[in-house]
Structure 1
Amino acid sequence: MKFDTVVLGAGIVGVCVAVHLQKRGRQVALVDRKLPGNETSFGNAGLIQREGVYPYAFPRDLGTLLRYARNQSLDVRYHADAILKTAPFLWQYWRNSHPARHAALAKSYATLIEHCVSEHRALAADADASALLRPIGWMKVFRTESCLDAETRVVERWHREYGVECESLDPARLRQMEPDLDKTLKGGLYFPASDSVSDPNALVTAYAKHFEALGGRFFIGDADTLREGWAVDTEAGTISAPSVVVALGPWSDRASARLGYRLPLAVKRGYHMHYAPQGTARLNHPVLDVENGYLLAPMARGIRLTTGAEIAECDAPKTPTQLAAVEPIARALFPLANRLDDEAWMGRRPCTADMLPIIGPARRHPGLWFAFGHSHHGLTLGPITGRLIAEMITGEATVVDPHPFRVERF
């Protein structure tokens, strides 16, 4: 029960770390309390966001902040007790979202985003899962000219700075691409270079099966039992290795804190529900309703409605009020029929205060590595994170500079 590396967490990031290490000749054990892809990676919007060069910032204009403070916004809700606990994090998040600081962070973030689609396609091909990736892009749609104009200016800056591809959609072009959407929409923005996934859980499962086909081992186990010497208890017994990668997503701070690392990590929770389309209606692309903060995505199970962010304790009970609030609006945007799930699914996005993931060695503990804090882009950045960690552990030249993502920056 000895391995070269133990990877804690079998979401998209942990599975990709395990695959990349195993293919480089390491003997890897992947450990999670559930089967791969059944926590946060189960319920995202299924986007691989090649355009996402700027991480999601905290709003800084007074009007938006006052709107959020009333806790009635469609895109952001909060639990009052969580706001008090996360206030230091939110303060740092707000400061890092200053336009100049945000632009500087984007220069580092874009180095990862640059590889997100190509790394997914390569891994999916190896895992015989290419059919789950759809090179169809995605779109934002707008109900007002003012919002469309403002967002267009933002995307034009992305194009100038990073070459982001975007097509502006007038109402006629939008109806051509999505004939069943609300005919009163003012237009849209289409991002053709991004991929989407028809079933995120199936994709992570396929990557995990590929890991096992390469000779890796998966164990049901308890990451809370991690102890120095890098041993962890599993249903099959205790396993150990000279190195361990913490890729536990929103639960990563539990493992890191026990080892003395106090990191500004918080959770944005989100919900989803699947629906059947009415009659012959068809949704061809993932569609974000910008003014109302929800996204509709065609999935294998049906049309998935995903909500914005909920600031709450990681393991607090579900409060799917956002889903209830946006569902009637989504039904007006696209003809949704009956719900297909018995209850709303809830997931947790692990976020750092500077919006950059933590990727690299924890230098106070030899053999300890971190790979978490990907916020809204865990699915997007899973494969490139796995490759980067594996290159660092094995001493290879790295595909991107890992320095901006080091844990010591906090």
Structure 2
Amino acid sequence: MTNSSPGGSQHYAHIVVGAGIIGLSTAFKLVDLGADPSSVAVIDPAPVSGASFVAGGMLAPVAEVQYKQEPLYPLMVASKNLYDDLLQRLGEKTSLSTGHRTESTFVVGADRADARHLTELTEHQHGHGMEVQRLPLRQARKAEWGLSPQLSGVVEIPGDHQVNPRMYCAALLDALRNMGVAILGERVDSIEDGAVATDAATHTADMVYLCNGLGAGQVKGWYEGEKSPLKLRPVRGDMLRLRVPEGMEPPVGRVIRGFVEDRPVYIIPRTDGTIAVGATSREDARRGPAVDGVYTLLRDAIRIVPGIQECEFIEAITGERPGTPDDLPYLGKIGEKLVISTGYFRHGILLSALGATVGAALGMGQPVHTLEPEIDLASCAPLRHA
């Protein structure tokens, strides 16, 4: 149960720092594993306002593979395998939609060089046992009439799906509130031996979960020395949101990912009638949408799906993903009272199921039996770059 003191401080069995998709999923999984909901608190001054608010939301362990990031592959596959059960359990606790869609993903190439890139990527995916199949353009355009007839190649990935991150996080928040989990709108300054100091009070916990993305690098107290051992960097990405006009047939009915002159682009139709177009990846000083990024995304999306230009422009937004030196997350237990779960780079939505499952199990002192394939979590050790 939750205990209150006159100064506003409270004691919980579990305190989750961060109300993005990692923190919310971790709190949900704690209750799923048997934690008393009234003994769980999530602390964040602005829930779902960081990278999760801007993310694409693709559950795409196959399409997301990149050369020289092979250690990420089993993590992505294992997390995707956890999602169906997580979505089902979430649906039992909230009536809100997650925007989950299960149409297969098409990956396309714009010109001959892009077609070659697509072929090489497909060979790489096949080499790692992933399901990808080449489609004739004519067949692909029967399924997706909005595709340009000038495309040079198409492959289909049956198992790559999507959620709408804003809707998904709203559903998680609603479920947690329905179950009785406390959501505290405070800013965490430090964590030390289960004491969580915020701008409003100092709360105590049997176990603390540091899940607040880039902000985790600013939380003091839990480590020795002046600098945080978490080497997090902001990897910014521009995202566009469009609306399909009333009465117009959507130009796409599934996720379309593409290469245009070797530049990646994706087009994501949502269940709410909007379309997301993304995403750039840059490490520069521009905190807002980059002009070159917005221009390139629109140009490349229209080249792949010309009907995009008939849509209404809603917004251009920029997210800051928490990257690590090796692009693997920080996921593990530190001492007796702290679990670290951050640094998910470009894959926070996809890897949230893995992060929540592992993080909650570590905090509850329970073994993780549900990872397939089995994962050696030593590669994700939070102090490996200290």
Q: Are residues 1:297 and 2:268 paired? A: yes
Superposed, which structure 2 residues align to 1:89-238 within 5 Å? Answer: 97=68, 102-103=69-70, 105-106=71-72, 108-110=74-76, 112-113=78-79, 115-128=81-94, 132-161=99-128, 163-197=129-163, 199-233=164-198, 237-238=201-202
Percent of residue pairs identical: 18
Work out whether residues 13 and 386 of structure 1, in 8 Å CA contact, stay in contact via their aligned partners in 2.
yes
Task: Please give the secondary structure, in 2, of the residue aligned with 1:14.
Answer: helix
More helix by share: 1
CA distance in 2, matches of 1:267, 1:373: 10
1:379 aligns with 2:343: no
Rounded to whole Å, the distance in 2 between the matches of 1:252 and 1:175 is 45
Q: CA deviation at 1:208?
A: 1.9
Letter in 2 for 1:407: P
1:22 corresponds to which of 20, 31, 38? 31
Provide closer, same or farther for how the CA distance between residues 338 and 144 of structure 1 changes in structure 2, counting only shifts above 3 A: closer
| Per-residue Cα deviation, 1:167-221 (whole angstroms, up to 9, x for no partner) | 2122111211211121101121221112212x32111111122122222111101
Q: How many residues get paired? A: 357
Q: TM-score, normalised by structure 1?
A: 0.79
CA shift digits 1:94-124 (9 cap, x unpaired): xxx4xxxx44x24653563452433443344
Partner of 2:5: none
Gaps of 5+ in 1: 58-96
Are the counterparts in 1 of residues 361 and 367 from structure 2 also a CA contact under 8 Å?
yes
Q: Is the 8 A contact 2:63 2:157 kept in 1?
A: no
Taking the aligned partners of 1:353 and 1:139, their CA distance within structure 2 comes to 31
1:25 and 1:120 map into 2 onto residues whose CA distance is: 16
Cα distance, 1:389–1:370 mapped onto 2, change above 3 Å:
same
Superposed, 1:319-358 pairs within 5 Å as 319-334=290-305, 335-336=307-308, 337-341=310-314, 343-358=315-330
Superposition deviation, residue 280 in structure 1: 3.1
1:41 counterpart (52, 60, 67): 52
RMSD over aligned Cα, in angstroms? Answer: 2.6
Aligned to 1:310, which of 252, 275, 282?
Answer: 282
* Runs of 5+ consecutive residues of structure 2 not aligned to the other structure: 1-9
Alignment of 1:242-257 (within 5 A): 242-255=206-219
Provide the rounded CA distance (Å) in 2 between the counterparts of 1:193 and 1:38.
29
CA offset at residue 320 of structure 1? Answer: 4.1
Q: Which amino acid aligns with 1:327?
A: L
CA 1:138–1:53 in 2, change beyond 3 Å: closer, same or farther?
closer
2:219 maps to amino acid:
A
Matched, 1:276 2:243: yes
Q: Is the 8 A contact 2:18 2:212 kept in 1?
A: yes
Measured in 2, the distance between the counterparts of 1:326 and 1:107 equals 26
C-alpha distance 130-123 of structure 1, shift in aligned 2 (>3 A): farther
Amino acid at match of 1:255: V
- CA shift digits 1:293-347 (9 cap, x unpaired): 221111225121112202135x845434301233133233321235442x42111
2: distance between equivalents of 1:293 and 1:222? Answer: 36
Contact 2:109 2:115 in 1 (8 A): yes
- The structure-2 alpha-carbon separation of the partners of 1:52 and 1:350, relative to structure 1 and needing over 3 Å to count, comes to farther
**Could you report, residue by residue, the CA deviation over 1:40-63 in whole angstroms, capped at 9, with x for unpaired residues?**
111211211132574x45xxxxxx
